[in-house]
Amino acid sequence: MCGPIVVDRRGLSLTAAVAVLYLLLPAASFAHHSVAAGFDPQQVIEIEGELTGIRWQNPHILLTLAVADSDGRNVSWELEWLSANGLGRTGISAALFRLGDRLKVAGNPSRRGLDRVWVTNLLLPSQQELMGGPPRPPRWSQQVLRGSESAPTIEGTAADVELGIFRVWSSGRNFLTRVAGVDRRNDPLSYPLTAEGRAAVDQRRSPEDTFGCVPKTMPWIMTQPYPIEFIRQGDTVVLKIEEYDTVRTIHLAPVPEASAPSPIGQSVGRWEGSALVVATTKVAVAPFGGIGGGLIPLSADVTFVERFAPSADGARLDYSMTITDPRYLTEPVTLEKSWLNVPGTQVLPYNCTQ
């Protein structure tokens, strides 16, 4: 790594604790796009330099900074951060940045020794400090603007009960996906794996950084932090997911003939009162769990049964997904999370940029 680096020894105990959170089933923003595979959450470094490039995009914002090294030569550092959509909802926009600005940045360094950092704190020339990730005290300023890819609230707004599921739902601040029966560290080997499943996990112990525009598959796409929206269209329910502009079609009746496997599979739904129960099959083989959504394999025989149940007051949408795979799992695994009703939220175009 080039350039002057300040290692934050004071913050190591905090970041080490936070690292445990980041290893949960892809939920915390750090693990959202395989960030933990490319950056070390147990270290924090500081750099300072001139802003030379701005790419305000999804899934990650990229800034470049000219940083003087010990010989006075400028080294170009790449700053990677949360998404444009996520930050935009919290008031952090490209309008806050101008080429030539001198910025101070703290963040997690590249695991590969590259001149790259995952931003946790950024100080603007105005002395306003921008922060992202889990809650922590500000580093340099009391003028703080906090960014997130989820809604800042932990409670939804009770309203429009008659709409049922048919509205926009947001992931709240505590949107971690829970996995029933799996230890808190989300160790892949704590899943109920067959012998073949355990062997497959052992072969996938070195996750790669998958930053890019490859859409997520089932079930990982359902653990993402962005808003979702249910729309009724005749005999189908359309589920729009902001991330990667994903659209799932849930068939009610009549059920179409079996289609070829796809990343999100074929979904058939039925009503249980106000709750929508969805069975999904024919999913193209895709792993789930672990860093970057991918240490545990799934076979072509995998099935998913989801339940979307709105609360009586319309404030919350409770969700569960039961995954059954006789090849890799000795028993079904159930994931749980919830979304919140946050009035005014929209599902925005994602327009992923490589």
Phi, then psi, of 31 in degrees rounded to 5? -90, 0
- What confidence score (pLDDT) does residue 286 get? 64
Architecture of domain 6-147: Beta Barrel (2.40)
- DSSP, collapsed to helix, strand or coil, labels residue 163 as helix
Nearest to residue 69, comparing CAs of 135, 131, 4? 4
Instruction: For residues 61 and 229, give the distance between their C-alpha atoms in angstroms, rounded to a whole number.
Output: 24
- What confidence score (pLDDT) does residue 350 get? 95
- What confidence score (pLDDT) does residue 174 get? 66
Domain boundaries, the chain: 6-147, 161-340
Element (H or E) spanning 38, and its range?
Answer: helix 35-38
- Most distant CA pair in the chain: distance in Å? 71
Instruction: Per residue of the chain (354 residues), give pLDDT as tens.
Output: 444 444 443 333 323 222 222 333 333 444 455 576 788 988 999 999 999 999 999 999 999 999 998 888 999 999 999 999 999 999 999 999 999 999 999 999 999 999 999 999 999 999 999 998 777 899 999 999 999 888 888 889 999 999 999 999 999 876 666 776 676 556 777 888 999 988 888 776 544 444 578 888 888 889 889 999 999 999 999 999 999 999 999 999 877 776 788 889 999 999 999 999 999 999 987 666 654 456 678 888 999 999 999 999 999 999 999 999 999 999 999 988 999 999 999 999 999 986
Structure tokens that stand for 41 in this block? 């959450």
- Indicate the length of the chain as a whole number: 354
- DSSP, collapsed to helix, strand or coil, labels residue 56 as coil
Strand-pair partners of 62: 55, 80
Quick check: bond before 332 cis, omega within 30? no
- DSSP, collapsed to helix, strand or coil, labels residue 198 as helix
Give the type of residue at 310: P
Structure tokens that stand for 125 in this block? 């020339």
